[in-house]
Structure 1
């Protein structure tokens, strides 16, 4: 399968949009298929923002922004269900050279027997085609994994630089780094800011936990969906001012006034 995108394509110089569109072309079906009881037509594929982010190395925010540009300009359309999203590459034939696949398949579908070329059985044709597709997908997956691992590590390094206590960096596993990346760098940064703000309010006795502790689990309570802002402390009256107010009253005089009113 050859993918052809000319340098004059309108999004060619936008790295994120180009990467996302190329990814969509790599994953789109070249024939109708069924998925979970639903027909997925040629030019479509099933995925999600989280999965595309993991496969391309883009953050979820970058995926959404690039996807919006492609949708607004008519290259991609989507249809969501409660479990997944169907992505459609509009006019995908313009960018995928299916003829090259067909030509290669035709040449491979002949065998020589007694000096005569003979057509291979249909089953063998299908088997070779599937092997080609599988080989292409495996190479694509390998490249995506390498790119994704680099993006995950770069994301973690940026977050680590922002944390004040640099202890325990080696104790943050690759799995935890991937979890942080999938949550989103912006969300983790907000969680970190909330944690540091809380520390500043009790700076006389609270110190930052080790970096490994925060990035392994400490950030969870400070995520958007979990964080509860502590109530503002109620202003307390100064006891000295209360006593001052009491001294302003002549209680003996007040008592005499009350007695006189009762006698009247």
Structure 2
């Protein structure tokens, strides 16, 4: 069924939802998620900043952005969500947020059972509780401060993963598997230096090299992988009418 879980879920503790309301619990959990990853420390506290439209994109569970704004304002009114403006530009009204963990902890103590919340005396650099249980799934990370950085890192992670797979395709066929780490570094640099540097080209060069190695196996040994991947795949090879003693030998 389409309404059962088939996409990343929003997860919050039921006890938190009972305490502050479901909409508010979703917001608190997501703000907490980002606070633990924030490097913005102002006046002794960690802060995270974002615009309402970006929060709405990140938590698309409400029928309208207005409903989400109302939940934010309720949390601010209760003093659970503290706001400030540390923007460098005076016209920039983007809100900065932090959670008043002490107030949240005092409310938690009023619950009949608080076993699911982990609080300890260990503190972050800003003095807030360090080990509050984080139950939010890794949602689309679109805070204003992290969106560009995350997009770049996510794209880079995908790029590296793809390069690793394509490198393995070539490496698995290469005859002398010495210096794999260096070979991969050379391969990455070569691939990223031009869009014309494709795996298809490298595989074609490798096939020619394998033919050369086979035709000259009585005297020639394949060079180390780290050497061949360092631009030696572009060596000009003679693969027809090769004599037993070539005019020029290719060294490692």
TM-score by length of 2: 0.37
Task: Name whichever structure is richer in helix by fraction.
Answer: 1
TM-score by length of 1: 0.35
Task: Name whichever structure is richer in strand by fraction.
Answer: 1
* Structure number with larger C-alpha Rg: 1
